[in-house]
Structure 1
Amino acid sequence: MFKKTLNHLRYLKNDRKWQKTRYLSVLTLEGTAKQFYDTHYDDWQVDHHLFLYDVRDGQQLDDSPFELLRYYLGKYPKTVHVIVAAEKHVDIIKQVLYFWNLQNDTRIIIVQQFSNQHMQYLLTAKYIITNAMIFSNILVKRESQILVNTWHGTPLKKMGYAMPGGVMGSWNVIRTLMMTDYLVLPNQYTADIFKHDYRLTGLFRGEIVVAGYPRNDVLVNGMLDDQLKKMQVELATDQPVILYAPTWTGDSATLDGTHNGLEKYLDVLQKIQANYSNYAIKFKPHPYVYESILNDDRFAKYLIPSWLNTNALLAYTAILVTDYSSLFFDFLVTKRPIIFLDITDNYQSERGTYLGSTTLPGPFTTKVSDVIEWIGQIDQVQINYHEQYHHFVNEFVSEDDGNATQRVGELVQHELKLKTRGNLSVLINGEDFSTDKFSPLVAKKISNKVDVSIVVYVSHLLDNWYGKQFFSNVDDTMSNTRIFVNDDMIIDDSWQQLNIIGQRVVGTQTFDILLIEQQASSLHQKILLTLSDTVVMVPNTQREQWLLALNYQYISSINDLAIWQTKAANPSILSQIKEELK
Structure 2
Amino acid sequence: MSKLKNIIKRNKGISKIAEMIIDGSKWAYDNTINRICWIMYSIHPINENKIVICNYYGRGFSDNAKYIAMECIKRKLDYDIVWLVSNMEKNEEFPGSIRLVKYGSFKAIKELATARIWIDNSRKNYYTRKRKKQLYIQTWHGGIALKKIEKDAENALNKSYVKFAKKDSENADVFISNSKFNTNMYENAFWYDGEVLECGVPRNDLLFNNVKETTDKVKDFFNIDINKKIVMYAPTFRKDNNLDVYKFDYEKCIQEFNERFSEEYVMLIRLHPNVFHKSTELNFNSENVLNASFYPDMQELLVATDILITDYSSSMFDFMLTKKPCFIYASDIKNYSDDRGFYFELKKLPFVISKSTEEMIRNIESFDKERYLDQVDKFLKEQGCVDDGNASSRVVDWIENNM
Q: TM over 0.5: same fold? A: yes
- What residue is the counterpart of 1:269 in the other structure? 250
- What residue is the counterpart of 1:156 in the other structure? 146
1:96 aligns with 2:93: yes
Of 253, 274, 280, 1:288 maps to 274
CA offset digits 1:255-286 (Å, max 9, x no partner):
xxxxxx32332335354246456211111111
**Structure 1 counterpart of 2:46, one-letter code:** V
CA distance in 1, matches of 2:24, 2:378: 50
Partners of 1:342 and 1:365 within 8 A in 2:
yes
Sequence identity (%):
22
Q: Secondary structure at the match of 2:275?
A: helix
CA offset digits 1:527-552 (Å, max 9, x no partner):
xxxxxxxxxxxxxxxxxxxxxxxxxx
Q: Secondary structure at the match of 1:221?
A: coil
CA distance in 1, matches of 2:109, 2:52: 11
Partners of 2:169 and 2:191 within 8 A in 1:
no
- What residue is the counterpart of 2:37 in the other structure? 36
Note closer, same or farther for the CA distance 1:307–1:61 as it changes in structure 2 (3 Å cut). farther
- What residue is the counterpart of 1:364 in the other structure? 353
CA offset digits 1:283-305 (Å, max 9, x no partner):
111110011224x3734852115
Note closer, same or farther for the CA distance 1:305–1:96 as it changes in structure 2 (3 Å cut). farther
1:175 aligns with 2:167: yes
Note closer, same or farther for the CA distance 1:18–1:373 as it changes in structure 2 (3 Å cut). farther
- What residue is the counterpart of 1:232 in the other structure? 219
Q: Secondary structure at the match of 2:100?
A: strand
More moved, 169-178 vs 143-152: 169-178
CA distance in 2, matches of 1:268, 1:143: 56
CA distance in 1, matches of 2:345, 2:219: 36
Higher relative contact order (CA 8 A, sep 6+): 2
RMSD: 2.6
Note closer, same or farther for the CA distance 1:16–1:116 as it changes in structure 2 (3 Å cut). closer
**Structure 2 counterpart of 1:325, one-letter code:** S
- What residue is the counterpart of 1:298 in the other structure? 283
Q: Secondary structure at the match of 1:61?
A: coil
CA distance in 1, matches of 2:102, 2:268: 31
Of 103, 116, 120, 1:126 maps to 116
CA distance in 1, matches of 2:137, 2:385: 22
Q: CA deviation at 1:342?
A: 1.2
Of 165, 169, 177, 2:156 maps to 165
CA distance in 2, matches of 1:414, 1:241: 41
Q: Secondary structure at the match of 1:176?
A: helix
CA distance in 2, matches of 1:192, 1:284: 30
CA distance in 2, matches of 1:126, 1:308: 28
- What residue is the counterpart of 2:49 in the other structure? 49
CA distance in 2, matches of 1:297, 1:365: 20
Partners of 2:256 and 2:365 within 8 A in 1:
no
CA distance in 2, matches of 1:275, 1:224: 26
- What residue is the counterpart of 2:389 in the other structure? 402
- What residue is the counterpart of 2:126 in the other structure? 137
**Structure 2 counterpart of 1:405, one-letter code:** S
After TM superposition, the score normalised by the length of structure 1 is 0.60
- What residue is the counterpart of 2:8 in the other structure? none
Note closer, same or farther for the CA distance 1:299–1:145 as it changes in structure 2 (3 Å cut). farther
Note closer, same or farther for the CA distance 1:299–1:27 as it changes in structure 2 (3 Å cut). farther
CA distance in 2, matches of 1:395, 1:412: 30
Q: CA deviation at 1:57?
A: 0.7
Partners of 2:58 and 2:84 within 8 A in 1:
yes
Note closer, same or farther for the CA distance 1:199–1:307 as it changes in structure 2 (3 Å cut). same
* TM alignment of 1:323-342, pairs within 5 A: 323-342=311-330
Note closer, same or farther for the CA distance 1:267–1:27 as it changes in structure 2 (3 Å cut). same
CA offset digits 1:329-381 (Å, max 9, x no partner):
11121011111121226001111101001110111232232222323444x2x
Structure 2: which 5+ residue stretches go unaligned? 1-16, 259-263
Partners of 2:21 and 2:28 within 8 A in 1:
no
Note closer, same or farther for the CA distance 1:19–1:119 as it changes in structure 2 (3 Å cut). closer
Q: CA deviation at 1:95?
A: 3.9
CA distance in 2, matches of 1:37, 1:399: 38
CA distance in 2, matches of 1:274, 1:95: 36
Note closer, same or farther for the CA distance 1:222–1:394 as it changes in structure 2 (3 Å cut). farther
CA offset digits 1:97-126 (Å, max 9, x no partner):
2xxxx2xx2x21110012121111111111
After TM superposition, the score normalised by the length of structure 2 is 0.84
- What residue is the counterpart of 2:71 in the other structure? 71
CA distance in 1, matches of 2:366, 2:210: 27
Partners of 1:137 and 1:172 within 8 A in 2:
yes
CA offset digits 1:223-274 (Å, max 9, x no partner):
463x4433112222131111111112222x3xxxxxxx32332335354246
Q: Secondary structure at the match of 1:81?
A: strand
